[in-house]
Structure formats: C-alpha cells, structure tokens
Amino acid sequence: MNAYDFKVMKRDGEEKSLRDYEGKVLLIVNTATGCGFTPQYEELQDLYETYGEKGLEILDFPCNQFGQQAPGSDEEIHTFCTGRYGITFPQFAKIDVNGENAIPLYRWLTDNTRFDGFGKSPMSIILSGVVRRTDKNYKNNGKVKWNFTKFLIDRKGEIVARFEPTNMKKLKEAIEKCL
C-alpha cells in the first residue's frame, strides 16, 4: 500500500483519487486557520511556487481537532487561505486526522510514522505541555499532535518523513532530495 492507493474528498464533496498525483512528490499537511502556526501557509505557498514545476504537490487538509482552530465551512476556510495567504495548492474538505473518524489516508500515515518530538524551541516546550494534557502517552504513538504536521511522500508513494509543526527548517532540504 502507498499514498496513491487512497481517495479523499474535495471541498465540493467530490471524491479525488491520489492516484492522480502518481509520480509527484507529495507534502500532506493538516491545517487550521486560527492557529499560531497558520502563517506557515505563506511558507507552504513559497515551497509550492519554488518546487511545483519540479513535481511537488502540497495537499492541504483543514482539521478542527486541535483547539477548534479550523472553524467554518470548507468554502470559508478556502476563502480565508486564498485571500490572506494566496494559496494555490489543492485544499480538500475538512477532516479528522485522529480517532474513529480519521480518514483512511491519515490512519495509514499515523500508523506508519512515529513522533520524534517537537524540538527545543520555546514553542516546542509550550506545545508539549498542551499536547500532554490530552494525550499522556503522546511521545509513544504516531497520532498527529497538532495543526501543520506534515508528511512527505516520494514519487513512488512511500512515506519519506514526518515533520512536526515546529520543524520547518529541514523540510525544504528533504523536499529537494525527493525531487
């Protein structure tokens, strides 16, 4: 099984096969419009503009599971993201990434990656405390911990790396290696 074996829902409710992205490098990210990490949309758009023609696709999945920070309809979220950050990469229907309602793509991603920590920045320390309150065992499971967790998929549809929201520095280098 690989990433191309999954189907997801577009904002308009239509099903989309990830097979349509076969041969591309995918960056799959769960997002939120009211999060401290929301400005990462600008960095993601920069990555898309820099590497899109080389085969990078960024797949944006809004998620309201962390602090209820993605309120609104799919269209309201999309209007915010295009208006404020000018995103042009695909944005899909709002989803759950953890729990019984998690979409199959995210079940696969979290079952096949592990959490390697948030790093050592001040934001990392704060985020660890917040996550610990809802998941005492957070360090030992693959669940998505917060908004803007990113999964990098190579051209064969295999998971290459997982990046927590506090770790944007190594992302560009990893994308370049995959391309």
| DSSP assignments along 40-73, one per residue | HHHHHHHHHHHHGGGTEEEEEEEB-TTTT-S-S-
In a domain, 36, yes or no: yes
Question: What's the pLDDT at 124?
Answer: 86
pLDDT (average), residues 99-123 = 93
Q: Over 90: is that where the pLDDT of 120 sits?
A: no
The position carrying tokens 């957070």 is: 138
Can you give the CATH number for the domain in which 69 is found?
A: 3.40.30.10
CA neighbor of 58 nearest in space, from 31, 96, 95? 31
Domain range spanning residue 100? 3-10+23-178
Render pLDDT for 36-74 as a digit per residue (tens, 0 to 9).
Answer: 899 999 999 999 999 999 999 999 999 999 989 998 999
Burial of 100 (0-12, 13-18, 19+ CB in 10 A): exposed
What Rg do the C-alpha atoms of the chain give, in angstroms? 15
In a domain, 53, yes or no: yes
Strand partners, 102: 96
- As annotated, the active-site residues are 35
Question: What's the pLDDT at 123?
Answer: 84
Render pLDDT for 128-145 as a digit per residue (tens, 0 to 9).
Answer: 998 999 889 999 999 999
pLDDT (average), residues 156-160 = 98
In a domain, 15, yes or no: no
List the structure tokens of 82.
């295009």
Question: What's the pLDDT at 174?
Answer: 96
Question: What's the pLDDT at 79?
Answer: 96
H or E element that contains 153: strand 150-153
In a domain, 16, yes or no: no
In a domain, 18, yes or no: no
Answer for the pair 21, 57: CB distance below 8 angstroms, yes or no: yes
Question: What's the pLDDT at 57?
Answer: 98
In the chain, the number of structural domains is 1
In a domain, 17, yes or no: no
In a domain, 50, yes or no: yes
Q: Over 80: is that where the pLDDT of 167 sits?
A: no
In a domain, 115, yes or no: yes
